[in-house]
Amino acid sequence: MKIAIPILFFSRPGGCRVLSMLASEWVAMGHRVTFLCTAHSDVPYYPTSADILWLDDNGFSVESNLNDGLCQIGGKKFVLNNLMLLLKGINRYVHDYDIVLANLNLTAWPVVISRTRAKKFYYVQAYEPEYYESRPEKRAIVLNYLSRFTYVLPLYRIVNSPIYLNYKWLRADYHVPPGIDFSNFYQKQKISTSLSVRPAILGCIGRKEIEKGTRYVFEAFEELLRQGYNVELHVAFGNLTAEQAAHPKCKIIIPQNDKELGEYYRSLDIMIAPGLVQLGAPHYPVMEAMACGVPVVTTGYLPATNDNAWIVPVKDSPAIASAVIDILTHTEQTKTKIACGVESVSAYTWHNVSKQMADIFAAKAEFNKLG
C-alpha cells in the first residue's frame, strides 16, 4: 500500500514518535510511506525510514527543509497557511495513494476536503477538546469546538485506547494502542545502591499543562520531605516554576533522545504520572517506566492496574505521598508489581501495533494484508 501522513511539523511530543515508529514499521512490511510536512519544519526528532515530502508555502515539493524557526514562532497565520499547503500537497501528490492518515485534529480538515482516491483515516491519540478547556485564552474556545467537529467528519477513526471508542463526542470502530521501543525501554539489569545510604529518586515528566498534574508530584515530594523521608525529585524536561526548579533536592534532567529517556527511567526508584483527565488512555511515562522495571504511581493510565501499579485519585498529593511510602516500605510487594508491569507492557511491540493498523487499512482499501 501507499500511505501518506500529512503533519503540521515534526516535534518532540509522544504523538510524533508514534507516527515515526508506525511509518518505519510499515516501510519494513513493504509499504511505501510518505510524510507531507511544511519545509519550515525541523527534521524529525524521532527518526523514521519513511519518505518526507517537504512542501513550500504553495504546496510544491522542495528538496529539503528550511529549518528556519517559523514552526516555533507559530501563530494563527502560520497554522492556517500550513493547513492550506497540506491541502495543496495532498491534492497534488497523494491522488494515487491508497491511504491518507490524519492525526492531530487540525490535519483532519485538509484530509477530509482533499481530492484523492485514497481511503481517509484519522488516528486519534487523545481527546483533544479537553486539553483546550483549561486554557483561558479565547482561541482555546475556538480550538475546542474545531477539534470536537473533527470527530464527526467522514473519516475512518482509529483510537489508541478502548475508552475512546465511545467518549463524549468521539466515536470509533477501531482501537490500536501505541507501541514501545524495547531497545531503549528495558528493565534495570543491576541492583541499585541500598536506599539506606542514598536518597530515593522520584521522577516525573515535567509539563506546564494543568491537566498533566506536575503540581501534585511536587506537593507530594514536599510532604515526604516534611515527614522526614530522604527523597529527591528528578524532573524530565523541566517545565517547573522558578521556585520549584530552585529547590535544593529537585533536579531537572533533559533527555536528548529515547535512549537517554530510557536511562532516565532506569535511574529512578519511583515514577509518578498523576494526570487529571482521560484516565484509562495510554500514557507513555506509565508504559515506558513499567518496561524499565520502575514502580509506577499513577491516576490510572493504560496499562496500569492495582496489580502492576499504585493507583491514586486525581489531585491528591497526600495519596501520592502515601503510595511512595508504601513502595519504599513493602519491598516484596513492590517486586511483584514491577514484574507484573513488565509483563503487562510486553505485548506493545511496534511490529504488533503497526500490523494491527496496517490490517485495518488493508481491509478498507481492499488490499491483501502484508507483514
Where do the domains of the chain lie, and which CATH numbers do they carry?
Answer: 2-179+349-365 (3.40.50.2000), 200-344 (3.40.50.2000)
Question: Contact 125/246 with Cβ under 8 angstroms?
Answer: no
Question: Contact 81/101 with Cβ under 8 angstroms?
Answer: no
Residue 368 has pLDDT above 50, yes or no: no
pLDDT interval class at 72 (50, 70, 90): low
Strands 51-55 and 61-62, sheet pairing: antiparallel
Strands 250-253 and 156-159, sheet pairing: unpaired
What's the confidence (pLDDT) of residue 370? 44
Residue 369 has pLDDT above 50, yes or no: no
Q: For 100-142, what is each residue's pLDDT tens digit? A: 999 999 999 999 999 999 999 999 999 999 888 877 777 788 8
Residue 358 has pLDDT above 80, yes or no: yes
| Average pLDDT estimate for 279-302 | 96
How far apart are the two ends of the chain, measured CA to CA in Å?
11
Q: For 2-30, what is each residue's pLDDT tens digit? A: 999 999 999 888 899 999 999 999 999 99
What's the confidence (pLDDT) of residue 74? 65
* Lowest-confidence segment of 70-79, 91-100, 137-146, 272-281 by average pLDDT: 70-79
Write phi, then psi, for 352 (nearest 5 degrees). -60, -50
Query: Which ranges constitute the DSSP H helices of 54-113?
Result: 70-73, 76-93, 108-113
Residue whose C-alpha is closest to residue 110's, from 102, 119, 98:
102
Mean pLDDT score across all residues of the chain: 93
Residue 367 has pLDDT above 60, yes or no: no
What does the alpha-carbon distance between residue 228 and residue 209 come to, in Å, rounded to a whole number?
30
| Per-residue exposure over 136-175, b if at least 16 CB sit within 10 Å of its own CB, e if not | eeeeeeebbebbbebbebebbbbbbbebbeebeebebebe
| Per-residue exposure over 245-265, b if at least 16 CB sit within 10 Å of its own CB, e if not | eebeebeebeeeebeebbebb
